[in-house]
C-alpha cells in the first residue's frame, strides 16, 4: 500500500491519497485554524481556482472561530460566558444548531458529553487558561462542578431568531468538542456551493468527504493507531458522504504530580478520564454529530460506550489499551465503512 498520510493537526485521523493521483489532479488547500489545521482536497479542480477558494474558506473559518472560540475574548461564545445575567442572548442559527445537537447528545450520554464542562476544563488547564502547577484541590473541583450542568443551558427560538440562556451566572460553555465538526460541515457546504462535488475536507480530527478522488475511487480516511509516537494506520474507511470524527486521550495531555492527564474530563467526577479506552471514532450523517458523540463515548469507557452505541445504532470504532497492545470494539454499522487496504 503506498499512502501519504497527512496527520490532521494533533488529532487522530489521517486523510490518505495515492501519491501520484494527488499531484496529478487534486487541488489541496490547507492552513491553520482554531489551534489546529484544516485541509480541503478537491478532485479535478483547476489550480487557478485556488486563490478565490482559499479566500472563501479562510473567511468562513474566521467567522466560525469568531462565533465558537473560547480562546478569543471577543467571540460570541466568550461574550456569552462573560455575561453574568440570565436574559436570553442572541446567537446565530448555526451556533444554535451546534448547541442543540450538543445538548441532545449530552442527554443521550447521561451528561458524559457536557458542553458546560468549561470551568473544569479551565481548572485542569486544557482551555485557554494556563496549566495548573499543582493538582486542583477537591474544594476547587467541587466549586467548578457547581457551575456546570446541561439543565442550566437553553436554546430558545423566539420570532425568527435564536437565543441562548443560562441560569447559573458562572456558567462557561465550551464548544471545543464540537467546533471542529461544525466547521467541517460548514466547509463542505461552502465547497458544494462552488459547484464542486468530489472533495474531502477536514478541520482537526473531523472529516467529511463526498464523491471520488482524482483517481475515480472513493476517498479514504485512516484512523491512526493510538500512540503519540507513531503515525501508523489502524484502519481505513470509505466515508460514502458521511462525517467522521475521532476523540482520543493520548495526544492531548500533560503530566502533573507524576500523573498523565487527558484533556477529556468526566463531568461526574470532575477529573480527567483514566480508563483504558484511548480512542473513539464515530461516523454519522454530519461531522458535527460525529464530533459530539466521540467525546461522550470516550468519557463513558469501553463497556458503557459500546452499550450506548448499540442502543443508538451508531457507527462506532473503539480502541482500548490492553497491556502493551490494543483491542478493537466496533458496531456492525461501523463495519460497513471499513475498507481492506489496497
Ligand atoms: P475532542 O475530544 O473533540 O474535544 C475535547 C475537548 O472538549 C477538550 O479539550 C475540552 O475543551 C472539551 N471537553 C473535555 N471534556 C469534555 C466533556 N466531558 N464534554 C464536552 N466537552 C469536553 N486551541 C488553541 O490552542 N488555540 C486556539 O486559538 C484555539 N481556538 C479554537 C477555536 C475554536 C472555535 C475551537 C472549536 C477550538 C479551538 N481550540 C484552540 C481548541 C482546539 O484546537 C482543541 O484542541 C480541539 O477543539 C479539541 O478537539 P479534539 O478533537 O482534540 O478533542
Locate 33 and state its grid cell.
485554524
The average pLDDT across 249-262 equals: 74
Q: How far is the CA of 234 from the centre of ligand 1 (A)?
A: 23
Any ligand 1 atom below 6 A from CB of 148: no
Q: Is 51 left (phi over 0), alpha (psi -120 to 50) or beta?
A: alpha
Domains in the chain: boundaries: 26-339
Residue nearest to atom 30 of ligand 1 (CA): 34
**DSSP 3-state of 102:** helix
- Other Cβ atoms less than 10 A from the Cβ of 84: the count is 10
* Nearest by Cα to 170 from 152, 157, 158: 152
Q: Summarize pLDDT for 14-35 with one digit per residue, the tens.
A: 444 433 344 469 999 999 999 9
Any ligand 1 atom below 6 A from CB of 262: no
Grade residue 288 by pLDDT with cuts at 50, 70 and 90: very high
* Nearest by Cα to 215 from 32, 17, 58: 17
Grade residue 118 by pLDDT with cuts at 50, 70 and 90: very high
**Answer CATH for 26-339 from 3.40.640.10, 1.10.1270.20, 3.30.429.10, 3.10.520.10:** 3.10.520.10
Q: What is the dihedral of CA 170, 176, 181, 182, to 10 degrees?
A: 40
pLDDT computed for residue 254 by the predictor: 73
CA distances from 21 to 217, 238, 307 (A): 10, 17, 41
Any ligand 1 atom below 6 A from CB of 205: yes
Q: How far is the CA of 175 from the centre of ligand 1 (A)?
A: 7
pLDDT computed for residue 160 by the predictor: 83
Q: Which of the listed ranges 104-118, 216-230, 319-333 does the model predict with the highest average pLDDT?
A: 104-118
Q: Is the pLDDT of residue 13 over 50?
A: no
Report the alpha-carbon angle 330-207-198, nearest 5: 115
pLDDT computed for residue 342 by the predictor: 58
Q: Is the pLDDT of residue 231 over 60?
A: yes
Q: How far is the CA of 342 from the centre of ligand 1 (A)?
A: 34
pLDDT computed for residue 229 by the predictor: 60
Any ligand 1 atom below 6 A from CB of 263: yes
DSSP annotation string for 311-326: HTT-EEEEEEEETTEE
User: Whole-angstrom Cα distance, residue 115 to residue 149?
Assistant: 9
Q: Is the pLDDT of residue 207 over 70?
A: yes
Residue with cell 435564536: 162
Any ligand 1 atom below 6 A from CB of 179: yes
Q: What residues contact 30, with CB distance under 8 A and at least 6 apart?
A: 37, 38, 39, 40
Tally of CA atoms within 13 A in the half-sphere of 92 that contains its CB: 13
- CA 103, 109, 113, 114 dihedral sign is positive
Q: Is the pLDDT of residue 12 over 50?
A: no
Of 159-163, 216-220, 228-232, 267-271, the poorest mean pLDDT is in: 228-232
Pairing of strands 220-224, 259-262: unpaired
pLDDT computed for residue 177 by the predictor: 96
User: Among residues of the chain, what percentage have pLDDT more than 70?
Assistant: 90
Q: Is the pLDDT of residue 228 over 70?
A: no
Grade residue 9 by pLDDT with cuts at 50, 70 and 90: very low
Q: Is the pLDDT of residue 100 over 90?
A: yes
Whole-prediction pTM: 0.93
- The strand pairing partners of 91, in sequence order, are 162
Pairing of strands 13-17, 220-224: antiparallel
Residue nearest to atom 34 of ligand 1 (CA): 69
Write down the mean pLDDT value for the chain. 89
User: Whole-angstrom Cα distance, residue 227 to residue 218?
Assistant: 27
pLDDT computed for residue 2 by the predictor: 27
User: Among residues of the chain, what percentage have pLDDT more than 90?
Assistant: 73
Of 224-228, 234-238, 310-314, 332-336, the poorest mean pLDDT is in: 224-228
Q: Is the pLDDT of residue 323 over 90?
A: no
Annotated binding site for Mg(2+): 177, 291, 295
Any ligand 1 atom below 6 A from CB of 252: yes
Q: How far is the CA of 46 from the centre of ligand 1 (A)?
A: 34
Amino acid at each position: 500500500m503506498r499512502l501519504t498520510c497527512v496527520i490532521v493537526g494533533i488529532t487522530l485521523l489521517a486523510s490518505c491519497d495515492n501519491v501520484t493521483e494527488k499531484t496529478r489532479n487534486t487541488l489541496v488547500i490547507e492552513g491553520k485554524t482554531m489551534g489546529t489545521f484544516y485541509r480541503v482536497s478537491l478532485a479535478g479542480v483547476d489550480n487557478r481556482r485556488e486563490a478565490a477558494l482559499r479566500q472563501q474558506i479562510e473567511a468562513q473559518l474566521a467567522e466560525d472561530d469568531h462565533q465558537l472560540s473560547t480562546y478569543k475574548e471577543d467571540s460570541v461564545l466568550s461574550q456569552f460566558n462573560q455575561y453574568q445575567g440570565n436574559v436570553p442572548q442572541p446567537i446565530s442559527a448555526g451556533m444554535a444548531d451546534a448547541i442543540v445537537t450538543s445538548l441532545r447528545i449530552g442527554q443521550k450520554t447521561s451528561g458524559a458529553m457536557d458542553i458546560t464542562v468549561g470551568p473544569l476544563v479551565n481548572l485542569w488547564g486544557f482551555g485557554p487558561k494556563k496549566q495548573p502547577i499543582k493538582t486542583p484541590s477537591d474544594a476547587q473541583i467541587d466549586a467548578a462542578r457547581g457551575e456546570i450542568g446541561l439543565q442550566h443551558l437553553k436554546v430558545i427560538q423566539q420570532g425568527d431568531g435564536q437565543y441562548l440562556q443560562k441560569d447559573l451566572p458562572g456558567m462557561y460553555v465550551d464548544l471545543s468538542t464540537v467546533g471542529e465538526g461544525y466547521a467541517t460541515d460548514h466547509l463542505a457546504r461552502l465547497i458544494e456551493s462552488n459547484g464542486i462535488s468530489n472533495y474531502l475536507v477536514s478541520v482537526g480530527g473531523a472529516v467529511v468527504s463526498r464523491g471520488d478522488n482524482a483517481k475515480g475511487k472513493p476517498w479514504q480516511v485512516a484512523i491512526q493507531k493510538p500512540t503519540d509516537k507513531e503515525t501508523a494506520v489502524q484502519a481505513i474507511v470509505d466515508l460514502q458522504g458521511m462525517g467522521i470524527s475521532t476523540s482520543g486521550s493520548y495526544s492531548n495531555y500533560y503530566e502533573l504530580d507524576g500523573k498523565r492527564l487527558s484533556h477529556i474530563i468526566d463531568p461526574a467526577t470532575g477529573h480527567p478520564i483514566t480508563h483504558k479506552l484511548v480512542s473513539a471514532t464515530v461516523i454519522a450523517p454530519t461531522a458535527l454529530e460525529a464530533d459530539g458523540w466521540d467525546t461522550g463515548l470516550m468519557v463513558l469507557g469501553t463497556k458503557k460506550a459500546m452499550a450506548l452505541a448499540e442502543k443508538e445504532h451508531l457507527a462506532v470504532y473503539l480502541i482500548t489499551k490492553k497491556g502493551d497492545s490494543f483491542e478493537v470494539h466496533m458496531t456492525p454499522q461501523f463495519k460497513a465503512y471499513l475498507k481492506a487496504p489496497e
